Amino acid sequence: MARGNQRDKAREKNLKEAAKKKNSNTLSGSEFQRKKEDDALKMREKQAKGEFV
**Interval 1-22 mean pLDDT:** 85
Q: Above 90 in pLDDT, residue 51?
A: no
Q: Look at residue 3 and tell me whether its pLDDT is greater than 80.
A: no
Average pLDDT value for residue range 28-40? 90
The string of DSSP letters for 2-49 reads HHHHHHHHHHHHHHHHHHHHHT-----HHHHHHHHHHHHHHHHHHHHH
Predicted TM-score of the model (pTM): 0.45
Instruction: Give the start-to-end residue ranges of the domains of the chain.
Output: 2-52
